Structures are given as structure tokens and as C-alpha cells.
């Protein structure tokens, strides 16, 4: 069976697709996989590192760009579809899976023109622009939330959000007396979180012997963040991006993060208590809605970016560092929100479509 995954741009699109890919390969060593995306997206680096085939196509962007850039993207769509069409014809997949991001559109459209089965993965309660546009081109959609069903009339299945198998194996962190905080704002980092965390450090100096930070900053803030930790004599590992996030989760007692659907699925799989800071500019405020689900179940506390500051963040860290029973309860609540077989459910759908190809 040949399966082509198309799209990417961010970890929220790439990593769920990788979880499905791992499940398909686990089931059958004869399965051939190809990822197609932009050479500017995260997929161009991560996918080859994991040993999968990757090819790039021309892909612009529609969201968060100027009018001129959006027009250039739309005018370039026919060329992108032709490029994707050549790849699809050569690889001859039984199924094309759009994983979100603009680069998914040309491949799904090309598969439609060639009459090949195609499906899309939708992680958020409110689909992104690319998936909303593709809703009428796909044979099937695998969605994370029941709220998404109305965007894919008659052809969607609630599967949950797939997570790489490593996240379910992280185990409990060391209980040797230290408290490790994992901080990340997505694959590109989050400047607002970085700023608040650096403001918090002077309020945490008194506890420096017990605290350790693992901080994914994004490229722009990495040097400044590392220097600030050092100036406050606080133990920290700072990188623009961690390729081995399951390992970092295994060391963390508490997580500070955004509230994208893939991030929350990983937090739940790893059974980690968390502080969530929803990205305020997310489409249709979907990150806030995601975070509220975790907060209602007691898995997370939520802090609005508008009220985020160093003093509040330092206080939250100290309170959770001193309350092991609260952390345990939050971990159990996070575990209850996990759907361990989401990747398996989606793999079942892929195989079902392939059998009809």
C-alpha cells in the first residue's frame, strides 16, 4: 500500500501525521509512505530525520499574510497543483492524506482530479482555512472533536488526535526533590511566554536549588533567554527547538504551553499537569476552547495572555512545586483526556479507503 501525506508547516500538523505513519508501518512493513510539503515548513527538516521520503512543492500561505501575498498564493495554486499532480501520479498512492497547512491543498486537489481516495486530518474543533476549503474535495475526514463534524457534512469520523507512541511511554519524572518545568510555545516558540518567563526569574531565585527549566524558545529569542537564565543563576536547558520532545516530557514535572490540539494531545498522553496560555490570535479562538476542556476536567490551569506577567507566572510555579498532591490529581485528569488509539483509528480509515481504490 502506498500512502501520500501532504501538508505541514507546524508541529501541530506534522506530528499527528507522523503518528499515523508510524502505525501504518507497524502494521505492515511493505507500506510505502511519501510526505509532500513546503521546503520552508517544519516538515522539510523533521520528516527526513525520521527516515521518511519527502518531496517539496511550491506553497504559499493564506492566513496571517498581506493581501498581495494571498493573491500571489492563489495565482500560484494551478502551478502547485501541477507539481503535486506529477508527484501523485509517479508515486501512485492508494490514499492521499491532507494533514493541514496550505501545502495540503494542491495534493488533495490533484488526487481529486486523478480520482484517487483522499482524506484529511483535522485536529481543532474549528478547522483551519485549508481544511475548510478542502471539505468538499475529500472522501473522508478524521476529526478530533465532535464540533468539527458540521464542517464535513456526511464524510467525517471522530477519531481523536493521533500522538506518537513515545508519548505514551514517558513514565513518571524523577522524584528526587527537584522540580523540572518544560516550557514551549509551539514549533516556532512564543515570544509572549518567553518574556513572561524571563520576568518571572528574579522571583524564583530563592528556589534555584530545586528548580530546573527546559525551555523551547524559537529561533529569535534563544540567545536572550539563555543569557537571562544564566544571569539569574537558574539551571536551564534552552534550545530554539527540541527534536526529542517525548524525552523532554519524561523529565518534566509540570508543563507551560500554548493550547493547540496536538500540544494538548501530547500533554494528555504523557499525563502531565500543565499551565496553558492560549494563543489569543488563533482562528475562531479555538485554543481557548481547547484549554477550557482541560481546565474543566482539572488537568490544567489557564492563564490569559492579556494578564500574563512574571509575577503571576512565578507564583503559579511556586504553588505547584509545593503541592505534589495537586500535581498528582492534575496528572490523572490529563490521562483521562487521552485517546490512546487515535492513530490506530485513523490507520483503519486509511486502510479502508485503500481497499476500495
Q: What is the pLDDT of residues 225-279, one digit of tens each?
A: 999 999 999 999 999 999 899 999 999 999 999 998 889 999 999 999 999 999 9
54-58 average pLDDT score: 89
Mean pLDDT of the chain: 90
Shared-domain flag, residues 145 and 71: yes
Strand partners, 56: 37
Shared-domain flag, residues 231 and 304: yes
Shared-domain flag, residues 226 and 204: yes
Shared-domain flag, residues 203 and 84: no
CATH number of the domain to which 331 belongs? 3.40.50.2000
| Residue 133 pLDDT level (bands cut at 50, 70, 90) | confident
Total count of residues recorded for the chain: 357
How many structural domains are present in the chain?
2
Shared-domain flag, residues 48 and 136: yes
Shared-domain flag, residues 18 and 74: yes
Shared-domain flag, residues 217 and 332: yes
Shared-domain flag, residues 298 and 350: no
Is the model's pTM score more than 0.85? no
Closest to 73 measured CA to CA, from 99, 101, 102: 102
Shared-domain flag, residues 116 and 189: no
Shared-domain flag, residues 264 and 145: no
Handedness of CA 168, 104, 137, 52 (dihedral sign): negative
Range of the domain at 329: 167-336
Cell of 326: 495537586
CB count in 10 Å sphere of residue 77? 16
Which of 47-61, 197-211, 275-289 holds the top average pLDDT? Answer: 197-211
Q: What is the pLDDT of residue 188?
A: 59
Q: What is the CA radius of gyration of the chain?
A: 21
Shared-domain flag, residues 285 and 317: yes
Shared-domain flag, residues 67 and 194: no
State yes or no: pLDDT of 206 exceeds 80.
yes
**pLDDT tens-digit readout, 322-343:** 999 999 999 999 999 999 999 9
Amino acid at each position: 500500500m502506498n500512502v501520500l501525506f501532504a501538508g505541514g508547516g507546524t508541529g501541530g500538523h506534522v506530528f499527528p501525521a507522523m503518528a499515523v505513519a508510524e502505525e501504518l508501518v507497524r502494521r505492515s512493513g511493505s507500506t510505502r509512505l511519501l510526505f509532500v510539503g513546503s521546503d520552508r515548513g517544519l516538515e522539510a527538516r523533521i520528516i527526513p530525520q525520521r527516515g521518511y521520503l519527502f518531496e517539496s512543492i511550491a506553497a504559499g500561505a493564506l492566513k496571517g499574510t498581506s493581501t498581495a501575498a494571498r493573491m500571489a498564493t492563489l495565482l500560484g495554486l494551478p502551478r502547485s497543483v501541477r507539481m503535486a499532480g506529477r508527484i501523485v501520479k509517479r508515486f501512485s498512492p492508494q490514499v492521499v492524506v491532507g494533514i493541514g497547512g496550505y501545502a495540503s491543498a494542491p495534493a488533495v486537489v490533484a488526487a481529486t482530479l486523478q480520482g484517487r481516495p483522499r482524506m484529511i486530518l483535522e485536529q481543532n474543533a474549528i478547522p483551519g482555512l485549508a481544511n475548510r476549503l478542502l471539505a468538499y474535495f475529500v472522501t473522508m475526514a478524521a476529526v478530533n472533536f465532535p464540533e468539527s463534524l458540521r464542517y464535513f457534512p456526511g464524510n467525517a469520523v471522530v477519531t481523536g488526535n493521533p500522538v506518537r507512541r513515545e508519548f505514551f511511554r514517558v513514565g513518571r519524572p524523577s522524584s528526587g526533590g527537584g522540580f523540572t518545568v518544560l516550557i514551549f510555545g509551539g514549533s516556532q516558540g512564543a515570544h509572549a511566554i518567553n518574556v513572561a518567563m524571563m520576568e518571572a526569574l528574579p522571583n524564583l531565585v530563592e528556589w534555584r536549588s530545586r528548580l530546573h527549566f527546559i525551555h523551547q524558545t524559537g529561533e529569535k529569542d534563544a540567545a536572550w533567554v539563555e543569557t537571562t537564565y544564566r544571569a539569574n543563576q537558574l539551571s536551564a536547558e534552552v534550545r530554539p527547538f527540541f527534536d526529542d520532545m517525548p524525552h523532554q516530557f519524561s523529565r518534566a514535572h509540570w508543563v507551560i504551553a500554548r493550547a493547540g490540539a496536538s500540544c494538548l494531545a501530547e500533554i494528555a498522553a504523557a499525563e502531565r499537569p500543565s499551565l496553558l496560555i492560549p494563543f489569543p490570535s488563533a482562528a475562531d479562538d479555538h485554543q481557548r476552547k481547547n484549554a477550557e476542556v482541560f481546565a474543566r476536567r482539572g488537568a490544567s490551569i489557564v492563564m490569559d495572555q492579556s494578564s500574563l506577567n512574571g509575577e503571576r507566572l512565578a507564583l503559579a510555579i511556586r504553588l505547584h512545586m509545593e503541592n505534589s498532591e495537586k500535581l498528582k490529581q492534575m496528572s490523572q485528569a490529563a490521562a483521562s483526556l487521552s485517546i490512546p488509539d487515535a492513530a490506530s483509528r485513523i490507520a483503519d480509515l486509511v486502510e479502508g479507503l485503500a481497499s476500495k481504490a
